[in-house]
């Protein structure tokens, strides 16, 4: 599905980083950052340009090819792993930061990934996440059509224990990211630290 979606000369979600990430990059400790469901590479390349050591993971070979092309254009390098998040080993106390931008998964897999994220962050490590809430379905400006794949403040508080939230908010904002996300979006944003 994603290989097919990305099989175009344009970048479906654009080449600029997610705005929430761009506005809060400095809140990620310098060092090793993992980008989940990275797609065409816009967020990973942004972080590499900011001096982070970036690993991206996604299941799309086409996305990887486009991401590496974007990295080359900006004279940075990223480590891009092709893997299924169901089986990808995030490690233990390994990452200074983990970025999850519109990484929508079926509930059981999402819960598993979130549990592994909490173990994979180093002490002092930070998770930065933005995702659509169930209200997004009626807006129709991007994201999955399945409400169970959406996220809320309450869900993140439950699934990301024992992280401590520095920012956790549901809001509507204008999302302009290529043709894939364009228009008013209902999102949840989180910045959480492993203490």
In this predicted model, what pLDDT tens digit does every residue of 113-170 receive, in sequence order? 999 999 999 999 999 999 999 999 999 999 999 999 999 999 999 999 999 999 999 9
- The pLDDT value recorded for residue 179 is 82
Give the span between the Cα atoms of 127 and 151, in whole angstroms. Answer: 15
In this predicted model, what pLDDT tens digit does every residue of 54-72 receive, in sequence order? 999 999 999 999 999 999 9
Structure tokens at 133: 């809430």
Average pLDDT of span 102-111: 98
The dihedral region occupied by 44, where left means phi > 0, alpha psi between -120 and 50, and beta the remainder, is: alpha
The answer to whether 129 touches 190, Cβ cutoff 8 Å, is yes
Please, what are the domains in the chain? 2-193 (3.40.50.150)
Sheet of strand 164-177: strand arrangement: 79-82, 53-58, 32-36, 95-101, 121-132, 181-193, 164-177
Query: What b/e sequence results for 86-113 when a residue is b if at least 16 CB atoms lie within 10 Å of its CB, and e otherwise?
Result: eebebeeebbbbbbbbbbbbeeeebeeb
> What is the residue-averaged pLDDT of the chain?
96
pLDDT at 1 over 80: no
pTM: 0.97
């Amino acid at each position: 599905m994603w290989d097919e979606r990305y099989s175009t000369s344009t970048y479906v979600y654009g080449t600029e980083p997610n705005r929430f990430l761009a506005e809060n990059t400095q809140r990620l400790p310098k060092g090793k950052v993992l980008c989940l469901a990275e797609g065409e590479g816009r967020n990973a390349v942004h972080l590499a340009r900011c001096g982070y050591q970036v690993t991206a993971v996604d299941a799309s070979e086409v996305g990887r090819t486009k991401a590496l092309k974007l990295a080359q254009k900006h004279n940075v390098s990223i480590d891009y792993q092709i893997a299924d998040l169901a089986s990808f080993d995030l490690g233990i106390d390994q990452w200074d930061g983990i970025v999850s931008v519109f990484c929508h998964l079926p509930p059981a897999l999402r819960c598993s990934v979130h549990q592994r994220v909490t173990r994979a962050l180093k002490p002092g490590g930070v998770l930065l996440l933005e995702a659509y809430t169930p209200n997004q379905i009626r807006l129709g400006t991007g994201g999955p059509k399945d409400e169970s794949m959406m996220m809320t403040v309450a869900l993140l508080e439950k699934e990301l224990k024992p992280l401590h939230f520095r920012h956790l908010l549901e809001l509507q904002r204008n999302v302009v990211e290529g043709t894939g996300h364009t228009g008013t979006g209902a999102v949840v944003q989180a910045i959480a630290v492993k203490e």
